[in-house]
Amino acid sequence: MRHLIAVLFALGVLLGTPDTGLCATGTPAPLLQQVLGELARHEAVRADFVQTRSNPALARPQESHGQLLFVLGHGMLWQSLAPVAETLAFTGRQAARIDPQGRAYPLRNARGVAQISGMLQAMLGGHSDEVSRQFTITASGTPASWTLQLVPRQERVAQVLERVELSGDDFLQGIRIVMHDGGDTDIRFSHNRDAGALSALEKRVLGLP
């Protein structure tokens, strides 16, 4: 999970303030809208995840696993279980580490992480406007098995980041971040399901009554 934060932080710093002069191009709008509509249908989702990070400098890929909770309009909780136990909350433009008692400790210099997380939350909520200002979005496949490829529009970002791929069916099933230095972060989700009742701690962290 810490490796994912590092990647998101770097991308957020590079992206900076969104350029509202950019507009989406090259997107098969009907399929994209179908995908976003299906994702937004799930107001609260739980999933297990496995994150694999590969890099030419690493002797072997590094792997972590845990659980994700996403609540539309409130944010997401990433709970890494191994190799390091850690819970992170992304709510709006805020990013924080959560201790076992539910106390939140804001991540320092996390504006970039929160920005990228906000874009992902927007996509899961059925909105692509913010993302399309920063990336060219290309959709392929069918509503039952789709891939969204995001290619950065800004030259300085494109020099570092090759692409981001989102894939899924009724739910988001995978996120892949491919860097030009050969780095590759791949997150696979499994056991996606409607979240059901939230715990008192989850409600408190996400600001739910």
Instruction: Provide the CA 136 distance to its chain's centre, in angstroms.
Output: 17
Largest CA distance in the chain: 47
Share of the chain above pLDDT 70, in %: 84
Residue 191: Cβ within 10 Å count: 10
3-state helix, strand, coil in the chain (%, to 5): 25, 40, 30
Half-sphere exposure of 113 (CA within 13 A, CB side): 23
pTM over the 0.85 mark: no
Q: What angle do CA 12, 16, 18 make, to 5 degrees?
A: 110
For the segment 73-94, the average pLDDT, to the nearest whole number, is 88
What is the reported pLDDT for 131? 84
- What sign does the dihedral 68-64-149-8 (CA atoms) show? positive
- CATH number listed for the domain at residues 2-191: 2.50.20.10
Q: What angle do CA 190, 150, 75 make, to 5 degrees?
A: 55
Residue 144's pLDDT band, with cuts at 50, 70 and 90, is very high
The pairing of strands 184-194 and 172-179 is: antiparallel
What is the reported pLDDT for 19? 43
Share of the chain above pLDDT 90, in %: 38
pLDDT in tens, 86-109: 998 988 778 889 998 888 898 876
